[in-house]
Amino acid sequence: MTSRLRVRFVPLGGLTEVTKNMYLYELYEDTRLKDILIIDCGIGFPKEKELGVDLVIPDISYLEDKKDKIRAILLTHGHEDHIGALPFLYNDLGRPPVFASKLTSVFLENKFRERNDQVFIERVNFEKTYDFGGFKVNFIRVTHSIPDTTHIVIRSPVGNFYHGSDFKLDLTPPYGPSPDFYQITKAGYEGVLCLLSDCLGSEREGLTLSESVVGRTFEEEMRKTKGKFIMTTFSSNISRIRQCVEAAIKFNRKIIFLGRSMKESTRLASEIGYLPIPRSLIASEEDLTRLPPNRVCLVVAGSQAQYGSAMTKLADRQNPYTKVGPGDKVIFSSDPIPGNEDEVYELIEELVSQGANVYYSDIADQLHSSGHGNQEDLKFLIRFTKPQYFIPIGGTIRHQHQYRNLVDELGFDRDRVFCLIEGETVVFYRGAASLGETIPTRTIYLDAYGVDEVASVVLRDRKTLSTEGIVIVVIVADKQGSLITRPKVFSRGFVFEKEQDFFYQESIKIIESVMRKKSGRLFEINNVKREIISLLEEFFFNQKRKTPLIVVEIITL
C-alpha cells in the first residue's frame, strides 16, 4: 500500500494580533511526523489590562515532545515580533539550527548575549537551496522597513509553499537591493500550492510609498526646524534611522540616540556598515546641556509610547539633560501598532502641550512609509505566485477578511482562503487542502523582561490591587490556635482614613470568632486562612461593594 504524505501548517502566533509571529510546517508520512520547520519566533506586546507584563511569547508546549523532529528555525527579518522570543524559548526547542540574513543575525546574536547565552546562526545564501529532511528551502530578497528582509519558498513532497511574511514592493529602496522579482515569479512558474501572505495593509488602496520618500521629507522638515529635531521610530528600523541621520549630516546637526534599544541597534548596525556616521557628529545625552537646539538631532526609541521608554520620559520631562519646548519639532515616523493608538495619541498630546510642533501620519503625509504592502503590493504578489490556496498572516481578523476580498477581486476562489486564528491548522495533500484539528494554545506572559512566566492568577491579583486595594491580616497564635495577641489589620487603596477604624475593628471581631472556633489540637492553618478570607470578602463586599486582595499571615509560636 502506498504511503500518503501531507503537510500541516500550524500557526502558534502572528494571526489575529499582528505580533508574536511563529509558524510551523510539519511533514507527515501517513500518521508519522517526519520533519518540522519553524518560521520566526517573535514577541507580542501586552494589553493595558495585563498589568506588569512586559512581553507575550508563543506557547510552544505543543512542541515539547517533538523537539527531535525540528530540523531548523528560519527567520524572515530582524523585527522583535519575528525574532524577540527566540532567546527565551531556544533551549526548550532543543537548540536546532537557525538561519537568518546578516542584520537579523547580528540583532539576534546580541539578544542572546544580553541573556548570557549564545547561538550559532548560519547566514543565508540567497543562491543556495537548503535541505531540511523532506523540505527544500530557498530564501528570496524582499523589501520591508528593515534591511535584509526575506521571503521563503518551502518545497515539499505535496507541493510548494511561499511564505510571504512582512513586505512591500519598494522599487527604489534607499539602501540595499529591490525585491528579487525574478525569484518570486520563478516560484510562481514552478507552482505554489499555498501563498502565506502579509495582510496588514489589505485595507489601504494603492501601492505603499517607497522608503526613499521619507528621507526627502526628513530633509525638508529639518531645514525648516529652528529648535531640536526629534524623530522617533522602531529601534530596529535601520533604513528609517539612516535617512534621518543623513539629513542631520547634511545640516551639520549633532546626532544623539536616546533609549537603550535605540543605542544598541544603531551600534550593531554601524559595526556592520549599515549605518555610517562621521564620528565628529555623534554626541552623547550629556552634550545636550551645552549644544544649541538648532544643532541637535535626536533619534529616540519609544514611538509606541511604551511605558518607561526614552520617548515617554522626554514627554514627561524626566530626561535630566533636555526638555521639549517651542521651536522643537517631533516626527513620529511609525504608525501605532493596532491596540496602541490611545497611548500614542496621549503621548502626542503631552508633547503638543509643551509647545513642540508634532507631526504624525494622521496630519502629515510622507513622514512614514509603512513596511507592509498596500492592496496593490498584495495583488502583485498574488499574481506573481498564482497559488492554489491562501493563508493571510501578520494581521488582525479584519485584515484577513479584507485580504479574502482582494483574492476575490482578482478572480481567485475566495473559498480557498483560510482565515485562521492561533492554533487552527490546515492540512495539505497534493493539490488539496482542508482545515485540520486545532492545537490548544495559551497566552504566555513574561515580566521583568522574561525572568519568570506570569500566571493568570498573578494578573488577576494585579488587577485587583489596582482597582480594589489590599488588606493584610497578621495573626500571632500558639500551636493550638489560641491567640497570643490581638490580630492586626492593615490596608492600602481600600478604604479612606476616616473609615479605617470601623473596618479594622469589625474585621478583628470576625478573625477572633474564627480563631476561637478553630483552635484546638486539630488546628489547621490553611483551612483557617481560607475561612477568614471568605468571611472578610463577604463583609467587605456587603459594606463597600469592593473585593480587595486579602492576605492572611498566621505566625505560630
304/78 Cα distance (integer angstroms): 18
Q: Does the fold of domain 468-556 match that of domain 5-206+370-452?
A: no
Mean pLDDT lowest for which of 127-136, 189-198, 334-343?
Answer: 334-343
pLDDT for position 448:
43
pLDDT tops 60 at residue 376: yes
φ, ψ dihedrals at 552, nearest 5°: -115, 125
Whether 261 and 235 have beta carbons less than 8 Å apart is answered as yes
- CA-based nearest residue to 351, from 312, 389, 382, 384: 312
Whether 483 and 476 have beta carbons less than 8 Å apart is answered as yes
pLDDT tops 80 at residue 26: yes
Enumerate the domain spans of the chain. 5-206+370-452, 211-359, 468-556
Task: Produce one character per residue of 125-147: b if its CB has 16 or more CB atoms within 10 Å, e if not.
Answer: eeeeebebebbebbbbbbbbbbb
Identify the helix (H) or strand (E) that includes residue 110: helix 102-114
φ, ψ dihedrals at 121, nearest 5°: -120, 125
pLDDT for position 325:
94
By percentage, how much of the chain surpasses pLDDT 90?
66
pLDDT for position 496:
59
- DSSP letter for 483, please: B
pLDDT tops 60 at residue 466: no
When the candidates are 3.60.21.10, 3.40.50.10710, 3.30.300.30, 3.40.980.10, the CATH number that belongs to 211-359 is 3.40.50.10710
Q: What are 250-291's pLDDT values in tens digits?
A: 999 999 999 999 999 999 999 999 999 999 999 999 999 999
pLDDT for position 52:
46
pLDDT for position 457:
45
The residue whose grid cell reads 501586552 is 46
328-329-330-331 Cα dihedral, nearest 10 degrees: -160
64/67 Cα distance (integer angstroms): 6
Give the number of other Cβ atoms within 10 Å of residue 207's Cβ. 18
Confidence of residue 503 (pLDDT cuts 50, 70, 90): confident
312-316-318-320 Cα dihedral, nearest 10 degrees: 100
pLDDT tops 90 at residue 115: no
**Mean pLDDT to the nearest integer, 188-213:** 94
Q: What are 382-433's pLDDT values in tens digits?
A: 999 999 999 999 999 999 999 999 999 999 999 999 999 999 999 999 989 9
Q: Where are the beta strands (DSSP E) in 388-480?
A: 389-393, 426-429, 432-435, 444-447, 452-454, 470-477
pLDDT for position 3:
65
- State which amino acid sits at residue 305: A
Superfamily of chain region 5-206+370-452: Ribonuclease Z/Hydroxyacylglutathione hydrolase-like (3.60.15.10)
Mean pLDDT across the chain, nearest whole number?
A: 89
pLDDT for position 544:
76
**Mean pLDDT to the nearest integer, 176-196:** 97
**Mean pLDDT to the nearest integer, 205-228:** 92
pLDDT for position 19:
87
pLDDT tops 80 at residue 551: yes
**Mean pLDDT to the nearest integer, 146-168:** 97
Confidence of residue 450 (pLDDT cuts 50, 70, 90): very low
Q: What are 346-368's pLDDT values in tens digits?
A: 999 999 999 999 998 777 667 77
Q: List the grid coordinates of 398.
A: 479584519
Which of the two residues, 266 and 54, has the higher pLDDT score?
266
pLDDT for position 365:
65
By percentage, how much of the chain surpasses pLDDT 70?
92
24/517 Cα distance (integer angstroms): 58
Sign of the C-alpha dihedral computed for residues 494, 497, 498 and 500 taken in this order: positive
**Mean pLDDT to the nearest integer, 490-502:** 71
465/494 Cα distance (integer angstroms): 9
Sign of the C-alpha dihedral computed for residues 464, 465, 466 and 467 taken in this order: positive
53/507 Cα distance (integer angstroms): 33
**Mean pLDDT to the nearest integer, 291-307:** 93
Residues contacting residue 320 through CB under 8 Å, at least 6 positions apart: none
pLDDT tops 50 at residue 454: no
225/293 Cα distance (integer angstroms): 10
Which of the two residues, 226 and 55, has the higher pLDDT score?
226
pLDDT tops 50 at residue 452: no
pLDDT for position 547:
76
Which residue(s) pair with 283 in the sheet? none
469/461 Cα distance (integer angstroms): 10
The residue whose grid cell reads 506570569 is 454
Confidence of residue 49 (pLDDT cuts 50, 70, 90): very low
Q: What are 508-531's pLDDT values in tens digits?
A: 999 988 888 877 766 788 888 888
pLDDT tops 90 at residue 129: yes
Residues contacting residue 386 through CB under 8 Å, at least 6 positions apart: 188, 192
pLDDT tops 70 at residue 112: yes
Name the 3-class secondary structure at 177: coil
pLDDT tops 60 at residue 478: yes
pLDDT for position 436:
96
pLDDT tops 60 at residue 455: no
Which of the two residues, 99 and 305, has the higher pLDDT score?
99
Active-site residue set:
198, 372
Whether 84 and 42 have beta carbons less than 8 Å apart is answered as yes
pLDDT tops 70 at residue 456: no
pLDDT tops 70 at residue 99: yes
Whether 70 and 63 have beta carbons less than 8 Å apart is answered as yes
- DSSP letter for 43, please: -
- CA-based nearest residue to 236, from 110, 142, 342: 110
* 468-556 under CATH 3.10.20.580, yes or no: yes
Side by side, the strands of the sheet bearing 426-429 are: 121-123, 98-100, 70-74, 32-39, 22-29, 5-13, 426-429, 432-435
Give the number of other Cβ atoms within 10 Å of residue 444's Cβ. 20
Which of the two residues, 457 and 219, has the higher pLDDT score?
219
